[in-house]
Amino acid sequence: MSSSTPVPARAHHDVVVVGGGNAGLSIAGRLRRDGARDVVVVEPERVHHYRPMLSYVAGGQATLAELRRPQGSVTPDGVRWYADAVTRVDPRRRLVHLAGGGELTYSDLVLCPGSRVDWDAVPGAEAAVATPHAATSYLPDSAVDTWEMLSGLTSGRAVFVLAGGHVPCSPVALKPLFLALAHWRRTGVRDAIEVELLVEGSRIVALDDADARLRTTAAEQGVTVRFGAAVTAVDPEARTVVVAGESLAYDALYLAPPHRAPAWIAESGLAGPGASGLLDVDPHTLQHPEHPRVWGLGDVADLATLPSGGALRKQVPVVADNIAARRRGRAMTRYDGYSIAPVTTSRHHLLLAEFDRDGRPQPSVPVVDLVRPRVLTWAFDRYLEPIIYFRRLLQGKV
């Protein structure tokens, strides 16, 4: 296990990667494997989370211990880690300011600090998840609370909310829903629980076949689905959500909330025009349109596609190849917006939706219909994918 490197007052590095999550470590590892000799990752957290498994924690099929590792143990070989936070970037001077007072200059800067829950977008939501009657799988401790809330419900109304806008891998939020339904059927209380799914958009997932199958599955399992249902406020004391001016009561509330980029992205003049303050990049090359030495990938970047951890399998090689292409004057490779949404439809069945930014199918295994829920797909997602993540993906072997 490697430890963090002391942060110097000022230092230059060939590539500075901001963010030590899936995106940051994967691109750092890939660059190192491609021959870059001086790659550093800036990440303040000392515990790394395999975030896709949080939905399984929220569905009672995993624990936090299974998805946590010390940050030093997952940092790729040959990559240095600064345990500090970025406060501002000056892209014209190629300068990164750190919370501890240090400054880093760079030849290329890769920004992938992830996104944050935008509690201000839904008044009352943050206060609600601090109560026993509301939770989200987008925060580790609240993912634990989600399953405690859902598994403890024996009657009443459970409301699941899929917000619109920037929600990382929003269809995966259906895992707690379908796993809770399976639990309620096993424990004999399903008939005493009314279940509603509020979807702010016009569909659950951008792939037609998967969207149709999820709608059918929800209907077969007695879930009332409302589309175009934007939750504008939550009243944690009354236990209600406001939808189109109407108050809807809940006994258990699950939120897949809107997200936004860290504030310093916009404060550094690197954000696009959207309200979420996401990093402005060319969605095909992942290069900033005004600052060619700045790159972005992962949840922080505005890529005109569903943000997901699985999408990094295509984004990481594009950024690595294009950094080299810019330096050598070669044509850049392009990212087609590939994304992926693994959704459980029962306790041991999972469908896999893979598509590009135009909603066209992009199956990894074309000879098998992975949109059809399968036990093997669930087993791969739940048990094999975490092993691949820690042993290969974070080392840049994508």
pLDDT, tens digit, for every residue of 379-390? 999 999 999 999
Q: How far is CA 328 from CA 107, 287, 332, 342, in A?
A: 14, 15, 10, 38
pLDDT of 2 > 90? The answer is no
Q: Is 173 helix (H, G, I), strand (E, B) or coil?
A: helix
Residue 1 pLDDT level (bands cut at 50, 70, 90): low
Please report the pLDDT score of residue 3 as a whole number: 74
For the chain, what are the domain ranges?
10-115+261-337, 117-258
Tens of pLDDT, residue by residue over 33-82, are: 999 999 999 999 999 999 999 999 999 999 999 999 999 999 999 999 99
DSSP 308: -
Please report the pLDDT score of residue 194 as a whole number: 98
DSSP 164: S
Please report the pLDDT score of residue 183 as a whole number: 98
Q: How many residues are listed for the chain in this entry?
A: 398
Element (H, E) at 320: helix 312-328
Average pLDDT over residues 84-99: 98
Helix 174-186, helix 140-152: angle, nearest 10: 30
Residue 397 pLDDT level (bands cut at 50, 70, 90): confident
Q: Which residues are registered as beta bridge partners of 18?
A: 42, 111
Tens of pLDDT, residue by residue over 185-211, are: 999 999 999 999 999 999 999 999 999
Q: Give the pairing of strands 240-243 and 231-235.
A: antiparallel
Q: Give the pairing of strands 10-18 and 103-111.
A: parallel
The percentage of residues in the chain with a pLDDT greater than 90, rounded to a whole number, is 95
Question: What does the alpha-carbon distance between residue 343 and residue 351 come to, in Å, rounded to a whole number?
Answer: 5
Asked if residue 293 lies in contact with residue 89, where contact means CB atoms within 8 angstroms, the answer is no
Tens of pLDDT, residue by residue over 130-180, are: 999 999 999 999 999 999 999 999 999 999 999 999 999 999 999 999 999
Report the CATH superfamily, name and number, of domain 10-115+261-337: FAD/NAD(P)-binding domain (3.50.50.60)
For 117-258, give the CATH class: alpha beta
Element (H, E) at 377: helix 375-379
Q: How far is CA 21 from CA 202, 263, 292, in A?
A: 31, 18, 23
The residue with tokens 């249902």 is: 229
pLDDT mean across residues, the chain: 96
Tens of pLDDT, residue by residue over 8-26, are: 889 999 999 999 999 999 9
